[in-house]
Structure formats: C-alpha cells, structure tokens
Structure 1
Amino acid sequence: MKNWFHSWRAAVRIARRDAWRYKGRSFLVLAMIALPILGVSAVDLTLRSSELSASESLDRMIGAADARFNDAAVAGVPILQTPDGEMHTPAKDYGDKAWPGGPTDVTKTFPAGAVVLTDSSGSAKLTTAHGLLQTEVRELKAADPVARGILTLLDGRFPEKADEVAATSHFLETSGLKVGSALSPRGSDTTYRIVGSYELPNDLKTDQVNALPGAFLAPYAKAVEKAGLTAPGVSTTYLVKTPGGFTWNMVQQINTKGVAVTSRAVLLDPPADSEVPLYQKDGWANFETSSGAQAAELAALGTVVGLAMLEICLLAGPAFAVGARRSRRQLGLVGANGGSRSHIRAIVLSGGLVIGVAAAVTGTVLALILTFALQPLLEDAMGQRFGSFDIRPLELLAIALLAVLTGLLAAIVPAVTSSRQTVLASLTGRRGVRRSSRVLPLVGLGALLLGGAIALYGSLVSDQFVIVAGGSAIAELGVVAMTPALVGLFGRTGRWLPLSPRLALRDAVRNRGRTAPAVAAVLAAVAGTVAVSTYAASDDAQQAAEYTARLPHGAVSALVVEDGGRDVPAVREAVQRLFPIDTRADVNRVSVGKPGCSPYGEGAGCGRYEIVIPPANECPLWARSDRGEDPSEKFSKEERRKLAEDWRCQEHSGGFYGDGGLLVGDAKLLNVLGIEDAGAEKALAEGKVVSFSKAQLDRNGKVTVKVITDTEKALKAEQEGKPAPGTLTALPAHQVSGDPNSYGVQALITPAAAKAAGLSTVPLGSFYSTERMPTAEQRQKLDGEIAKLGSDVDFHLEEGFVGESSIVLLVLTVFAGLVTIGAAGIATGLAQADAEADLKTLSAVGAPPRVRRTLSGFQCGVVAAMGVILGSAAGVLPAIGLRLTEERERLRFYEESLDEGWGAMSSPPYVPIVVPWETLAALLVLVPLGAALLAALVTRSRGAVARRAAI
C-alpha cells in the first residue's frame, strides 16, 4: 500500500510539473474539457434555482392566504378536483348529456370569520405614449398583508384610491409611461394615475395594471356597452385566510357546493392518490412520467454525454500522446532506474488526472461565478425570478467527475503506448517500427455492418425512429474504429502528389496515433451536421410542397374582427399610405346582433349565421345524425375509400377568418385574388351571390343563409345532433366556372345585395394587390402604425413559402467548420511539435523557407479533408433512413385515414429526400481549404536555429 501510494504521488508530481512546463498544450486540453463542464454546471445551477419549492410557489400563487376559491362554473353541482385544484369535473356522470353550466355563489362557502380578498382579472385597451396597448387588468388590494408575495413592489406604492393604478415594469417599458403618468382605457372618460410599479415573480414579461376592486373593470364595461360594443369577460377568484387553514376533508366538503379550492395545507402535504376521488374515475388517473419515458430520457442524456466525452477524448488524446513522446527520455530514465511499465502508465495517466481535476475545478468555479453574476439576465431570459440560488453539491461533484473521467480516458491510449516502448528506444529517441492494430479495423467493420443492418431494419420494417438512430450511431462508431485503417488507405494517394502534400500525407499516415483521433473527431462532427442538414433540407422541401398560400404572391390582407371593425378605416389608410398598393378591395362581414358582436356569436345579444349545405350535397361520411352516431360506421372500408374520392367529401366548406362562409365585397376582390370569370362580375352586378363551393348551391341554383339569433339554443341543438334553429333566406347564386383558387373565400356578395337580403354588415378590412413586394423598412413602419392602434389586426403579406432551415443549415455548417478547423489545427500543431526534428532536417538539406509553411498548411488540410469526406459519407445514410421511416409512418397513417373515411381531408404523403449540396460543398471544399490556408498563415517560415546534436 505504501509503495502504491508513493509511486502514484510521484507520478502526479511529475505530471503536474510537466503540465506546468508545457503551459500552451496544457491550457488547450484544459479548455476543451472545462468548457463543457462550465456549460453543464451553469445549466444545472440555473434549472435548480428556477425550480420553486411548494412553499415558494404558493407564496407567488396565493400570497399569505390559506386558499384560493374558484367558481367551477357548473351551477353549484358537486365536483371532484385534483389536490392542486387545477382540474375538476362534476361528481355525477352525465354520460352523453351536456354538463350543467352557470355561476355559483362562492361567497356562501367562506368559513365564518375568514379574511377574504377578491382577485378579478380582465383586459382593456389602454392609452400609452405610442398609442393603445391591450393590457391585462387585475383588481386586487395588493397592499393587504394577505396578498403579500403575489406582486412584488419595485417603485412607488400600490393604489389606495379608486383613480389610482400600479403597473408592471414591463408595461411601463412597453408603453413609454412612468410612475406619475396618467392613462385611460379606450372608450372611457375616466383617467387613472400610475402611483407605483411592480412585477409578477412568475411572469416578468406581463403587461398588467393593478387597481382596487371595483375601480376599473366595472366602469370600463359600462363604457364599452354604452358604445354598443361587447364588454370583455372578467374572471374572479377569492383569497381566503382562516385559522387552521383548509385540510383535504374541508376542501372536499367545499367541492360539494361547486367550488374548486387551491389549499396551502393540501399542497404542502398532498393526500395519497387513493384518497383523491377524482383519480378513481375512468380517464382521470394521476398520470406521471412512465418508467419507459424516464428510461428514454436517461438514454438520450447518456448518449449526448457519451458523445461529448468521446469528442473531447478524440481531440485531447493526441495532445497527451505527443506530450508523452516529447517526455520519452524522461520516461526512459524512469525505466532505466528500475521503474516498471505500470509506473510509466501511472505517469502518463496522472497527466490526464491533473488536467481533468484542474478542468473540473475551473469549470465548476466559473459556473458558480458566472451564474451568480448573470442571475438577473438569466431571470429576464426565463421570464421568472429564481426561488433561491440553489447549489446541489452532489450534482456539481458528479459533473466535475466527468471532467476527471474524460481526462483519464483521453490519456489511456497514450499511457499504454508509452509503457510498451523499450528503455533503449525511449533514451535514444528512436521510434522503431510500429504496426497498426489489425483487430480494431475488424471490430469497426463489424460494428459498421451491424449498425447498417439495424438502421436498414428500422427504415424498411419498423416504424421506430430510435432504431434507425441507434443503428446509425453504432455504424458511426464503427467508422471511427476503422479510421486508422482508412487513414492508411488515404496515404496510398500520396504517390501522385507534389512534395509538400506528399510529405504531409505520409506524415499523417506514419503518425496515425495523433492523426486518426483528429480525423475521427472531425468525422463525428461532420456526420452529425450532414445528417441534420439532410433531414432539415428534406423537411423543408416537404413543407414547401405542402404549403398552401393564403393569397396570391405579393398580395396583402388586413382584417379586424374585434369591436365591430372600429379600427378598420385607420388600418386601411395606413396600408394604403405605406405600401405600394395597386388595387384595394374593401370587405365587410355579416353581423348578427349588436355591431360589436364577434362572428362566432359570443356574448349576450349576439348571434351568428351560416350557409346551409343542401342534404344532397353533404358528404355521406359526415352527414349529421339525430342519434349522435358516427355516420361513417355505416360503410365498409372499401366504401369509405370510394367515398373519399367523391366530390362532396372533397369539398372543404367553412368561413374565411370565421365569417361563416359569406364575404361582403365587390368585383375588386376578384381582381386581387386573380380570379378571371366574366360571369362572376356580371352576377355581382345583378345582386347574386358568387359561390366558389359547388356544395353550397341547391338544385335551383341558390345559396341558403341561416341567421341564428340565439347562440345558446343553437349550441344545445347541435349537441343533440339536431340542426340549429334560425331564419332561412335563399339567395340567387352563380357558380364560378372551373376550379379557381379562391384562397379560402367561400362566397361573395355585394353590400347592396346583402342589405336587400336583410343582412347587417360591419367593416372587416381590405385585400390589396401590390405593384412590387414591400421592403423590410415599409413593413416595419406599418407594424409600428398598427401597434399604435392597439387592435388585434390579422395582417398577412403573401411571400410564398419561406423555409426556416436555411439558418439551421448555416449554423450547423459554421459549427462543423469550427470543429473541423479546431481538430485539424490541433493535429497540425501536434504534428509540428512531434516532427520538429524532421523540419530542421529539411532546413539543413537546403529546403526553401516556404516549405515549412506549405507543409503545415497541407498537414492541416489533409486531416480536415479526410474527416470531412468520411463524415459526409457517414452522415447522409442515417438521414435517408429516418426519412424512409417517416414516409412509412405517414403512409400508414394515410391508409388508416382512408379506412376510417377521413382520406378526403388529407392527401397521399410526400416525403422527399433532398441532399443539401451547398452544405456539402462548403464542408468538402471550403472548410479544408480554409483550414489549410489558416494553418499556413499562422506558421512561421523559419524555425529556430538548432544545434548540430539536435539535428
């Protein structure tokens, strides 16, 4: 034990002194290992600090209260809830019948003597320094001790009077206002003064103002309704504080009155699943992450960590190998003085241990410092405050041990190689004749064949992506194992090359111990990049084929559904002024009820309308059943497949932006949409409806519009499988000839014809054709004008399909290029250090000074070129396998949809395989060339003058 301890202590001391002597090489390896440790440790600290404990979460949710009461909106019938109160359902099983709906008087469920705060939320458009801003309004007495913790005061104070509000810091930043400024909601004469700023710890990016209960939302609703518009909805909960809190039994008693409760006591000490009646109902089990999913996550995490360690070992291993060769005389002296092979291995391994420990300490300390220093920035990026700066020593220790393990693994091969050298060879500096292993290439070839077979099985037989990915990973590791042999095959091409590249290639082949790991590292990075790039380019091509344009290329639409189209004139003027408009087509929508009603009939006094499809034109697969049965069950699979080709089942009727299917406009809209039909223009002039859907017309060539004034009755009837009650109006119509692309417009009627038919209309917006594509500056100006209005404008400029993979491909190419240049540069630097004697010999025999620079460039280029070529070949195959697997899965889904009768809603799958030639060209040509030029530029033409004995 004493000898073992002393020998390792001596080995560590020697390794420490050697690392300090060669600071450049040591710092390079340390940085390679420490950077991943720094990143992983920082992520661990950030995630742990952002995770809130149950107590911290409750403080932000219910403040100092004991519970939050929430109306379940089931008309007071008993409910069952989850312990956190987030999910609930009526206790009674209503089967196919509709659940009861309606408010509950929550105030009757409060315990005697309880302290209660109301917490109401709504929304309003508020005046700002730039215009209007849609903002959340919260009525809560935030200064009350019960609410402490929900809102964090930053400046000033919380409101104390009815005409005062506080605002979140994000709202003040967005609106251009400050504490002391005045604001007012749109449509109201009431003005409020901002007396303080605050933040929501769980959502730092919320635009919200806080007012006293009853001071804002009720007056604003009255002002909106007075203007004939629909008031925004308001939700109210109650913060309740009572001695003793609320146990699970008390929560269940309150549930019998139709009220859901979020209790502090229950969340801090939750009941067992067997004590939660809701979990005993079918479909309401407490689903947690399955063991299979957890195993898959751990496997994915282990794969990523393993690949990262492999990459670091491949890059750091040659550095240890060269360091061992440069210290071979020192190692030879150890052997000459009685040291065994185990002592030499211990010295080289200690080098990895010393660098690993230094990298672990450096990475962990830097992660702690940077995470603590950047905490405000991290919180802003995540949108929430940390609960506390949570340090998990065991987790950080485990991450740090990865650095130590990586350093040891990187030094294993150099340690074994150094220990096999004889003492005489070490002392004289002779390398002897070294043969590459014949077993490793065979193992690699076996892994390549096995991985290829697994990937082939996964792509042609199985539907599991993980099989293809796993097989591809095994095959790639096989290629890595075959890299030394493949480097030797590359060396046979040197006979046809000039002097400098021939010397570089032969040096790479002769020193495979440092060349092969660098090539393998480049191979792994390039293979992953090519695989992802090929998949991304193929997916881009698939999305381009499936893309459905909303408008003709270059056309513009700007629609406003809310507030009865109040802001439509301003939007029209802004687009007309800022964009190069050719034709403008104004459109309205049919409105049922008050002018401010939405197209869906939401709110009191609001209705909706729909175009009635004649029974003869309904698809048999989707026909309405009075019993609520699925009509497709009446047909066999063969009949469903046949009906999928029926024109009635291929007609996709429906409204344009929720307008019910009938747009109010004139012939200009046909011009903007690029529809050329003289009969359509004539029909509009005659007051007819122009229909783009064959299913809408009955036998008499008319379109029937149903006006539904009572939305609740209509909804109840539809739930029972009956047609919604309403007033029917038949209008003469014209069917557009051919099959033109109407871009979602189902039918068009002029304003005069709509008025004659008794249909009320409100402004919706406009469609525009442009003389040329608007510039980015024009778009930004228009966005600013629309933002000032504060309206929810559905704006669309048709640019055609715009792929997102171009940025991904660029990032991946840059990443692979950096790894390639880095690995090749490391190999080149090690080659220069390893072959210094050869370079001095070249200089001594009369070689020009530029040979040194040229040789260095070609050494770097050779390593980069070999790695890129092998990596490109290894990366295309897994991408092809994944695409074939996806094609089989989509084809199976399409066949099932045909059998179920939904085939008309989809099209046969198109899953192309596209090779990103631009990316491959950049990797195959530009990256090796850039690496060679960079290495040549940074290399000195002349080396140091050597003594005769050193030559």
Structure 2
Amino acid sequence: MLKTILAGLRARTARLVLSSIAIALGVAFVTGTLVLSDAVEAQTRDNFARGARNVDAAVHMTENSPNRENGVPADFVGKIRATQGVAGADAREFGSAALLSSDNKARNALVQPLPTTEKLRDFDLKDGKFPVKADEAAIDTKTAQVAKLKVGDELKLLDEDNAEHSFTIVGTYQQGASSISMSGSDHVVVSPEGLRTVIPKQHVYEIVAVAKDGVSQQQLVDNITKAIGPGYEVQTGEQLTKATLEQVGDAAGEIRSVLLAFAAISLVVAGMVIYNTFTILVAQRTKELALLRCVGAERGQVFRSVLAEAVFMGLAASILGILGGLGVSAGLQAFIGSVGGPSGDDFPIRLPITWTTIAAGFAVGVVVTVLSAVLPARRATKVAPVAALRSQPDSQDDVARTGKVRVALALLVALAGGAAVYLGLQQEKEEPAMFITGGATMVLLLAVLLLGPLYVPLVNRLFGKALRGVPAKLASANAGRNPKRTAATTAALMIGVTIVAMVTVVAGSGRETMAKKVDERFPADYEVTSNVYSQPLSQKFADELAKVRNVEKIAPELQVYGESDKLKYGDVTGYPSDAIGTLVRPELASGTLTGLEDDQIVLREREAKDVGLSIGSSVKINDKIFEVAALIKDNTYGAGIVTLPAAQAIMKDDRKGYQKLLVKLAPGTDITVARADLERAIASSPVAVLNSAAETKAELNAQIDQILLFIWALVGLALVIALFGIANTLTLSVLERTRESALLRALGLTRGQLRQMLVVESILMALIGAVVGVVLGAGFGWLLVEALSNPELRISYSIPFGQIGVMLGLAVVAAVIAAALPARRAARNSVVAGMAEA
C-alpha cells in the first residue's frame, strides 16, 4: 500500500499543489503570528527595561501619599548623593514646552534633564553628543525626522509665559519605552541648568541611584531609606525592572490572541478547501479504489491510504508554511521598523523560532489536513467494489439531496445562536455584549454553512436567469449540478466576506454616528485649540478673536480636574452660560440646559444613577456645592458641565487660559472668507490651531479607516485561500469533465466559448459566496451595532454601499483571475484525445 500511496501522490502532484498552498498559507499565518509576537515581546521588554538599566535603587512617592501630586522632594537628590554607598544619583523629571517649527507654529514637546551620572542615562546617543551647557539640547530621532531638525540647527522653546529660549542641537538619541517616550509629543533633552530656564518649577517623579563597588542593591536601599525617612517607596533595581515589566502587561499576548483569531479563520477556510479537494479526488478515483478492493485491499487500508495522502500533503504544506511564516514575520517587523517604535526606536528584525512554534506549525498543518480528509476517506470505503467499477468517474454521487439530519442539526445550531444573541443583547456593558453577540453570529454562520446545499442552487438559478448566451447558461448548469461541491467551494469565500462585511458595516455605522454627534454637539462653525498643553489660549487672545470680522460669539472651554464626595470622578467642563444649550448641545436626558447658574451642574446620567443623584440633588466638587439642574447622556464632558465662572472657581492649578475656543459665525457669512480672517488672527499665537467640524470628522474617519484596513488585511488571507479553493475546484472539474468538454467542442463550442464558460462558472461561485456573505455580514453587523449601543450612545445602523460594492467587484475580478489557468488548460485540450479518454 505504501508504494501505491507514493505512486498516487506522484500521479496527482499537480492536483494537490493548490490545496497544499491553501494549507501552507494558513500555517504561515499561524507561525508568523507566533514568531512576530515573540519578537514584539522581546523588543517591548528590552525597551521598557531600559529605564531601569544600571539602576541599583529608585525612590518614588507611595501610592496613598497625600503629596503624591507634588512628586519626590527635589532636595532628596543631595541627601541621596551624600548617602553611604551611593556612587551617583539623579532626579527624573519632565515638563511640557512649545517647540517652534520653521513656520513659527508650535508643537508640544516634553523636555527632560540629562542625568549627570552617565550610568543612569536611559538615552542611547545616536549622533553628536549629549548637552552639557545651558544652551545646548539633544532631540530624539523621531522628533528629528518629524520636525526636520538635525545636529547644528537652532531649537526654539517657549515657556508658559511665551518667552522664547534658544538652544543649539548638539546630538540625537533614542530612549527606552515609557509613558513619557510614548506620549506622542516631541522629545528634548537639555542640561539640568537648561531645563530650569524653560521650566522653572521642578517636579521630580523618581530619583535613581547607582551603588559603589561592593555595595549590594539591598544595602543601598536600606541606606537611602534611613537617609530620607519614611513615607516613600524605595526599590532595588531588580524590583524596579520587575515592576516596570509588569506595567507593560501582556501586550504581546494580546497581539498574539488577535492575530491567532484571524489565523483560525484562515485555517477553517483552508480546511474547507482541503475537504472539497479530497471529496472531488475520491469521487474521481472511485474505480481506482474499487480495483484496489477487488485485488485484496481491505476497507481500512483504503481509508488509511487516503489519510496517508493527507498526512504527506500536510507535512509538505507545514514545511512551506513555517518557512513562509518566518518571511511574514520579517516583513511585518520591517514595516514596524519603517514606522518607528517609541521615540523613533529601531525595531531590529528578530526571528525567535522556537520548538513550540515549529511544533504548532506542523500540528496545525497536518491536523487540519487530516481532519478535512476524514469524511471523504470514509466515503471512499462505503461504496461496494462492483458498484464502484460500474460507476462513472464523475462525482454524481455527491449530488445527493440534503438530508433531514443536516437540516435538523442546522436548526438546532441556529436556535443556540439565537439564544446567544438574545443573551448578548441583554448585557448592559459593551464589552461582554460585543463578545457574546459576536460569538453568537459565528454560531449562526455555522448554521448557514450547514444549509449551503439548500440555498446555493436557489441563488445559482437566480443569477442564471440574468445570464445570456450558451456558454453562460452552461456555466450556470455546471455550477448547479453538484450543489454540495458548489456549496463547499463558495462557503470558504462566504466566511471571509461575511466577516469583512460585518466589520465594514459596524465601522460604517460608527462613522455615521460620530458624524451626527459632531454636528449635534458642536454646532460651532470653528474651534481654536492649543497645540501645547502647557500653553493655554489666553483671555486676551479670546478677546482679540471675538473682534474678527463676522465672528458672532466666542465660547471658551475649560476642563477642570476635580474630586467629589459622591461621584467616582469629579472632572467637569466649563462653558459660558449662554453657550450651554446653544453652542454646546449634549443629548439631554432630563431637565434643561438653558439659564444654567454658577451653583448648578449638568450631570452625566449614568454617573448620577450610579450614586443615586437626580435633578435637585446636591453634589460637592472641589469644595463647592452644586445643585443638579439637568442630566445628559453624553460622556465627553467628564462628570458634567458647569458654567465658566464655576469651573474657574473650583480649579486647583494655576492655568491662565483655555485649551479650546468655540467660534460661532454670524448668519450668512461666507465660510471661506471667514476662515481666511481667522487664520490671520490666530497667526499671532504660535500654539493656536484652527479646526472645523468637517476636519474633526475627517480625522475620526481616518482613524476608522486605519482600523478597517488592518482588519481587511488580516481577513484578506482567508479570502485569498478561498479563491485558491475556487481555482482548485475548477482545475479538478476540468480534469473530471475532459470528455464532456471534448463533446461540447465537437458539437460546435469554440475554444473561446469554453474559456468563457469556465470564467462565468468561477464568477458565479464567487458571487454566490460574496453575495450571501454580504447579506449575512449586513445582518450580523446590525446585531453588533445593537450590542454596542447603550443609553448614552445610540449607534445609527448604516451600510457603506460604496465599500460593499468594491468588495463585490474585487470578488468578480479575483474569480476571473482564479479561472484563467483552468480555462486555458481546458481550451488547449485536444478534442480527439478528450473523447478517447476513459
């Protein structure tokens, strides 16, 4: 039997290639994901651990310290440096400043002092040198790229009073990953003296020290603890490293889980392709297998021979997939490196291939292939040898009508999915609602897959009615004569399209909802924001803006961080009283927004319900008591809205301005002319940026498009595998229908018409899978939209027909490409040779 199996594999090599590619792609996705996640984990840990490099002791404020906001006392640096066993110590701090670009506009920059102890620098110098003098600075490599600055250029920073300070750039660096380096701001390092010129107020969040030779980390910690007294947390370097890595969390694990979920989809699709391939091959080899039975082979030997072919194919596909996975991982890492890590970090390509990854690749490839071949192999042993010898090699026995067991099973699965949908929609929190409902849609998808042989002929006939011409009619007949085969072929594509369509519908609904919310909440024509957190827009600037031609009203926005005796979070947003309800229109749950007094507050409904507050109740925020005047559903204002004077009264910090100004134009104003006037007005402030509602929506849409493109790319592999399945089915069908095609040619069908017939058949199968997938995706998308909606945010269901149309168009184009080689082969076959084939 082994010789027979090997001979069969050699004879059917070409037929198995496409199927092997399908499995190899799935294995490549799995192994590539495992290698990538291991590489990301190693790189992430290296980056975050860099901040604890060479540190023997670190001093922090304790979690429950009442003075935590003030940071570690700066004079502790001197005490620690004078402590026995300390070789060096430095304070870690940062401040926000405005970095002036060449167009005199500001960018937010975080400025840090360079540690005087060289061992304690978590910066890696890339070019030039570190700053020593008060007028020298170094910038991280990412800032250098974005701001187009280099060593030798002049760097201008503005302090909180808008005073300009000039520095000479003497070097560039990279910094380990941290909440500071990953903030998204520009990054500048200056000498400790230089920092005080820009940011006079010192705020130390950590003091780090290095020990002298022969002094252990624990000894150093004990000595420092005695020197500074109780009330502070002092860690060893090892403890700091461990705590830092714990804060990172299992980010790589989350990435791995997401990618493996999409890899599982690809493997399911690949499994369907393999199942379909073996079903066709077994049907075509009916006489061959019957002959083996007649010459003495037992049922078990025939069964094992088919599975052995699957094992060989799975092993070959696994080897290709593992090698391909390394390439996939390297490509993704190269892409990440081109984008840049935190602070422009290099992202070196790592290929940490482990035995676990190799074992997973082989296990997935072989197991999926063998499982997919079990049913066809079992079917091969059920036909009596004599009956099989009388049968034709065409797989007409696969045309059996869908049995009652299949329908009953599909109904049971659908009922289970429906119950899960009901459970998911009853959840109050968005996360469990999304996961339960999302899982339920996959159960419903399984029910639809089970019913494939029932609906596929109906859809095929529907499309067939629109076709004209003999080749097209023949294509429809070919697609409909083997319902199970067509259903299995289209199911693979349907799964991928369903998921893509579902995500696209959810994203489109989110896009539509956000656009409506932007229009509803911000009826202001423009808003002016500060690009630098530490540089708010002054009242003087607001007054000047109010004088601009055609400006009817300016409404400052002031966000205040507060603490409440009843609310979990006491942060509120302040606006002028006459702007609340006009320029600022949150979705009202109860009460009224107009005429809000300085001792009244508009509370978020959910926050109020959680603590039992209602209209007329009192709540204390930062030593001021407010009466609840209204409840709103929006969650974009913190705990609620107060008047601007009330916000200023409870503000604890010493800010001298606003982060945002809402601008309302006079009725009938030319929006283009008004924008030009406003642009000229804000030119006087380097930190002011002008935005409109349209620009805000465009920014939000860009973020949604990025997420959508990412998901399309991940599911794209499953779609590619599904198209391989269509090409594979057509290729095997061409071999199976050699005599039939020759007969059609003999009856007058031209080579071109034969090619057209196969292309149309491919398009029909692609459209059946794509159209059913789109319908299911739209329905499942609606279920997810309902699950994600809540009383505070009702998502509007919307189908992005443009993107759906593109998806269907791509399916047709891909189907034409998939049919190219099978159609070419069929057209090139000799009529005489085809008629003579047994």
TM-score, normalised on structure 1?
Answer: 0.64
Give the superposition deviation at 1:51. 2.4
Distance 1:318 1:771, change over 3 A: farther
Higher helix share: 2
Letter in 2 for 1:166: A
**Which residue of the partner structure matches residue 25 of structure 2?**
35
Tell me if structure 2 keeps the 8 A contact 1:693–1:746: no
Letter in 2 for 1:858: V
Distance 1:825 1:217, change over 3 A: same
Q: Does 1:200 align with 2:175?
A: yes
Aligned pair partner of 1:695 in 596, 600, 607: 596
The 3-state SS of whatever aligns with 2:171 is strand
Distance 1:386 1:567, change over 3 A: farther
Aligned pair partner of 2:355 in 393, 407, 430: 393
Tell me if structure 2 keeps the 8 A contact 1:857–1:931: no
**Which residue of the partner structure matches residue 139 of structure 1?**
113
Q: Does 1:503 align with 2:474?
A: yes
**Which residue of the partner structure matches residue 357 of structure 1?**
315
Aligned pair partner of 2:407 in 425, 442, 466: 442
Aligned counterparts of 1:886 and 1:944: Cα–Cα separation in 2? 56
Q: Does 1:556 align with 2:526?
A: yes
Aligned counterparts of 2:669 and 2:52: Cα–Cα separation in 1? 56
Task: Specify the structure having the higher radius of gyration (Cα).
Answer: 1
Instruction: Report 1:541-620 matches (<5 A).
Output: 541-549=512-520, 552=523, 555-560=525-530, 565=537, 583-584=550-551
Instruction: Report 1:405-484 matches (<5 A).
Output: 405-421=367-383, 425=388, 429-431=392-394, 434=397, 436=400, 438=403, 440-455=405-420, 457-458=422-423, 465=433, 466-484=435-453
Instruction: Report 1:788-827 matches (<5 A).
Output: 790-791=686-687, 793=689, 795-798=691-694, 804=701, 823-827=725-729
**Which residue of the partner structure matches residue 630 of structure 2?**
none
**Which residue of the partner structure matches residue 574 of structure 2?**
655
**Which residue of the partner structure matches residue 188 of structure 2?**
209
Aligned counterparts of 2:495 and 2:361: Cα–Cα separation in 1? 23
Tell me if structure 2 keeps the 8 A contact 1:117–1:140: no
TM-score, normalised on structure 2?
Answer: 0.71
Give the superposition deviation at 1:120. 3.6
Cα shift readout 1:868-926 (whole Å, capped 9, x = no counterpart):
45434544544444445556xx3xxx5xxxxxxxxxxx6xx7455555566666777x5
Cα shift readout 1:538-587 (whole Å, capped 9, x = no counterpart):
4445445544546547x3232559657589879999x99xxxx9724685
Tell me if structure 1 keeps the 8 A contact 2:26–2:270: no
Aligned pair partner of 1:378 in 314, 336, 343: 336
Letter in 2 for 1:30: S
Aligned pair partner of 2:144 in 154, 172, 175: 172
Q: Specify every segment of 5 or more residues in structure 2 that has no aligned partner in the other structure, as ranges.
A: 586-591, 600-619, 627-640, 646-655
Aligned counterparts of 1:528 and 1:179: Cα–Cα separation in 2? 50
Q: Does 1:159 align with 2:131?
A: yes
Tell me if structure 2 keeps the 8 A contact 1:168–1:197: yes
The 3-state SS of whatever aligns with 1:694 is coil
Cα shift readout 1:86-145 (whole Å, capped 9, x = no counterpart):
xx214xxx9xxx999786342445631312332342233345555454322221236x44
Aligned pair partner of 1:943 in 817, 828, 835: 828
Q: Does 1:123 align with 2:96?
A: yes
Give the superposition deviation at 1:843. 0.9
Select between 350-359 and 433-442 the one with higher mean Cα deviation. 433-442
Letter in 2 for 1:583: N
Q: Does 1:846 align with 2:748?
A: yes
Aligned counterparts of 1:375 and 1:145: Cα–Cα separation in 2? 31
Cα shift readout 1:797-845 (whole Å, capped 9, x = no counterpart):
4568668468878986995987776554443333223222211111122
Aligned counterparts of 2:364 and 2:659: Cα–Cα separation in 1? 65
**Which residue of the partner structure matches residue 66 of structure 1?**
56
Instruction: Report 1:743-758 matches (<5 A).
Output: none
Q: Percent identity?
A: 18
Aligned counterparts of 1:462 and 1:335: Cα–Cα separation in 2? 58
Give the superposition deviation at 1:220. 3.0
Instruction: Report 1:706-785 matches (<5 A).
Output: 719-720=622-623, 767=663, 769=665
Distance 1:910 1:151, change over 3 A: closer
Distance 1:818 1:139, change over 3 A: same
Distance 1:584 1:389, change over 3 A: same
Letter in 1 for 2:446: L
Aligned counterparts of 2:552 and 2:294: Cα–Cα separation in 1? 95
Q: Does 1:219 align with 2:219?
A: no
Cα shift readout 1:472-497 (whole Å, capped 9, x = no counterpart):
32232122122224445567779978
Give the superposition deviation at 1:364. 1.9
Aligned counterparts of 1:883 and 1:347: Cα–Cα separation in 2? 49
Select between 443-452 and 235-244 the one with higher mean Cα deviation. 443-452
Distance 1:516 1:211, change over 3 A: same
Distance 1:763 1:512, change over 3 A: closer
Letter in 2 for 1:106: F
Q: Specify every segment of 5 or more residues in structure 1 that has no aligned partner in the other structure, as ranges.
A: 1-6, 73-78, 80-87, 222-230, 274-285, 590-597, 603-607, 609-623, 631-651, 664-669, 675-690, 699-716, 724-743, 749-759, 895-905
Aligned counterparts of 2:490 and 2:187: Cα–Cα separation in 1? 56
Tell me if structure 1 keeps the 8 A contact 2:393–2:736: no
**Which residue of the partner structure matches residue 85 of structure 1?**
none
Aligned counterparts of 1:494 and 1:191: Cα–Cα separation in 2? 72
Give the superposition deviation at 1:515. 1.7
Cα shift readout 1:363-406 (whole Å, capped 9, x = no counterpart):
22233355457645434444355697544321342134212222
Aligned counterparts of 2:800 and 2:24: Cα–Cα separation in 1? 34
Q: Does 1:13 align with 2:6?
A: yes
Distance 1:255 1:404, change over 3 A: farther
Letter in 1 for 2:124: T
Aligned pair partner of 2:208 in 239, 255, 277: 239
Tell me if structure 2 keeps the 8 A contact 1:450–1:474: no
Distance 1:522 1:127, change over 3 A: closer
Alignment length, in residue pairs?
A: 736
Give the superposition deviation at 1:792. 5.3
Cα shift readout 1:314-362 (whole Å, capped 9, x = no counterpart):
1233233444455566555644543333333333323332332222222
**Which residue of the partner structure matches residue 278 of structure 2?**
320
Aligned counterparts of 1:377 and 1:837: Cα–Cα separation in 2? 50
Distance 1:374 1:557, change over 3 A: closer
